[in-house]
Chains A and B, each alone.
Chain A
Amino acid sequence: NAGVTQTPKFQVLKTGQSMTLQCAQDMNHEYMSWYRQDPGMGLRLIHYSVGAGITDQGEVPNGYNVSRSTTEDFPLRLLSAAPSQTSVYFCASSYSPSSYEQYFGPGTRLTVT
């Protein structure tokens, strides 16, 4: 098993550009989520999905879109990048958000200039 994979590992964008952060898992997990991590702020939930075709907003969804067309993939789209979106992004997956371990991907470090 590859576990949770994220691409790219590093990315530099200019303000206004758009891009998609990729996340995939091969563990047949129903639950997937995206977090951003900023110094002193912990992990903040952006969007999550409890199954294919179902997504919902987390604490900080503005400026981000998601879709879940398959169980394996959960891409995060930045519509028009802003310097405030400079952060480390983690994708996670699990059988359930409540009672099972969350498996985190290695993260994507994004810088917006």
Chain B
Amino acid sequence: QQPVQSPQAVILREGEDAVINCSSSKALYSVHWYRQKHGEAPVFLMILLKGGEQKGHEKISASFNEKKQQSSLYLTASQLSYSGTYFCGTESGGTSYGKLTFGQGTILTVHP
């Protein structure tokens, strides 16, 4: 089952902040975040692992609440280059090892 993202779309002006949420009905081992520009492939932003380890870019932050099976991506002081569609992906491990499923995406638009 796909994780659920909110909001579906966000419109910002340069310099403003945004939060994108991702929730799952399953216990999670990891949460991935990717950004996709129109007509291009998704590009890696960050991985958050059960137990607190994080891997990713320094300028982007995220949180992972294991008990609630939720993650949030924090985009601060937005730039025009932040525009795109953001996807969270979740993997539950165990018998679901390998099943990395993505949410429906959040469209972020940053205006000058």
B87 at the interface (CB under 8 A from A): yes
Instruction: Name 7 interchain pairs, CB-CB below 8 A, sorted by A.
Output: A44-B2, A45-B99, A45-B100, A97-B97, A101-B44, A104-B42, A106-B41
A42 CA / B97 CA spacing, docked (Å): 21
Q: How many A-B residue pairs have CB under 8 A?
A: 75
Considering only CB atoms and an 8 Å cut-off, how many residues of chain A contact the other chain? Answer: 27
The residues of B that contact A99 with a CB separation of less than 8 Å are 30, 47, 49, 53, 55
A31 at the interface (CB under 8 A from B): yes
The residues of A that contact B32 with a CB separation of less than 8 Å are 102
Check if A43 sits within 8 Å of B42, measured CB to CB.
yes
The residues of A that contact B42 with a CB separation of less than 8 Å are 43, 90, 102, 104
